[in-house]
A = this chain, B = another copy of it.
Amino acid sequence: MLEKFFSKDARNFRPSAIRAFAKWINDPNVISFAGGSPNPETFPAERFAEIAARVLRERRHISLQYGPTRGLPRLCDFVAARCAVQSNEVILTTGSQQALDLIAHTLLDAGDVVAVELPTYIGGTSSFYARSAKLVGVQQDDDGIVPESLAEVARENRPKLLYVIPNFQNPSGRLMSQRRRDQVLEIAREHDFLIIEDDPYGELVYVGGADTTSIKSRDHDGRVLYLGTFSKILAPGVRCGWIAGPQEPVEKFEIAKQAADLCSGMLDQSIIDEYCNSGELPAQIERVRVFYRQKRAVMLDALEQHFSGRAQWTPADGGLFTFLTFNDDIDTAARVERAVANGVAYVPGAPFFVDGSGRNTMRLTFAKEPDERLREGVERLARVFGS
């Protein structure tokens, strides 16, 4: 009955196609490779408890009060230093999902084209669809975006933005090579579009020699909006991400954020600020790496054992995911129910492809399950995708 009141954007809202799979994540009978959440064992809960109690007791006028829209100044400085930008080039956001939303609101009109990787992150596409943008897919190979494909999309579709996750992409787990990053930036300059460089996983590196140097670091003409987050190296329940970009759009994002939520949680920011400024972050990041490195090894080993010759998968040299590709005739979505009945869950790949391809792919996370269940889960999966 109220439908007639909905905006044009609202008619383009797309509910997350993968949230539907979340319901199995907490069923103990189902081994879940489905979710995309970090593992709570990596959260620095004890230190956060100490810090939270302290900032609440001693600094209630900051931790419990409205704060600056840009974010807690000392934490902005910390983030700016990590990103090698000036403090006035940073805005903290309510998770990096808000960063995507502020950018989409500030830069996109209905019908504007956003180029995205095939596959890409659902949270990114949902923010763009919510502004009635048109999404066009760019081919990816093991080195990341294929430059020829990007150039073609740029010529034919004249995108305003490219959305890219160069480090251990969600969902593909791939690391874009440094040469490709140069090429991507070059094409952006030639065809005059901006780049959203989303980097939630850059610190989660499990192998030597993985070069995660950002596109932003070589951005000399102010074309890159770099997104970071504390969600994977600390915890996502405290909502804190950021945008590092040229001053001019960052000022616009600040006005957009005034209207969006006035300020992000000040208790969350106070806790993270204390934690980071007491110098604990590097050791924490190392703990997180050790934790996932082991899980990744278990899953890759099990895949080798059960899927060798039956599928290809990405090496997951960082991040939380490996991405499997089967023969063309296998439709992974069609087997989800059978898999769950067999006690294992995954996310079919198709929703990550804006062009409707990828039906023979799936995303697996090794973040959640203990080692034994990782092995057992891959074995169950093999039964569902057996010959």
Interface size class of A (residues with CB under 8 A): 35 or more
Which of chain B's residues have a CB closer than 8 A to the CB of A246? 2
- A236 in contact (CB, < 8 A): yes
Contacting pair A7 B106 (CB below 8 A): yes
Query: Which residues in chain A, 312-343, are within 8 Å of chain B measured between CB atoms?
Result: none
Given A49-B56, A53-B52: A194 in contact with B2 (beta carbons within 8 A): yes
Q: Measured between alpha carbons, how far is A262 from B22 in the docked complex, in Å?
A: 13
Pick from B40, B97, B237: contact of A265, CB below 8 A: B237
- A285 in contact (CB, < 8 A): no
Q: Mark A46-78, 1 if CB is under 8 A from B, else 0.
A: 101110111011001111111101000000000
Q: Mark A1-13, 1 if CB is under 8 A from B, else 0.
A: 1110111111001
Which of chain B's residues have a CB closer than 8 A to the CB of A180? none
Which of chain B's residues have a CB closer than 8 A to the CB of A61? 40
Query: Which residues in chain A, 259-284, are within 8 Å of chain B measured between CB atoms?
Result: 259-268, 270-271
- A311 in contact (CB, < 8 A): no
Which of chain B's residues have a CB closer than 8 A to the CB of A235? 60, 64-65
- Residues of A that sit less than 8 Å from B by CB: 1-3, 5-10, 13-16, 19, 37-38, 40, 43, 45-46, 48-50, 52-54, 56-57, 60-67, 69, 94-95, 97-98, 100-101, 104-109, 112, 123, 126-127, 129-131, 160, 194, 222, 231, 235-239, 246, 248-249, 252, 255-256, 258-268, 270-271
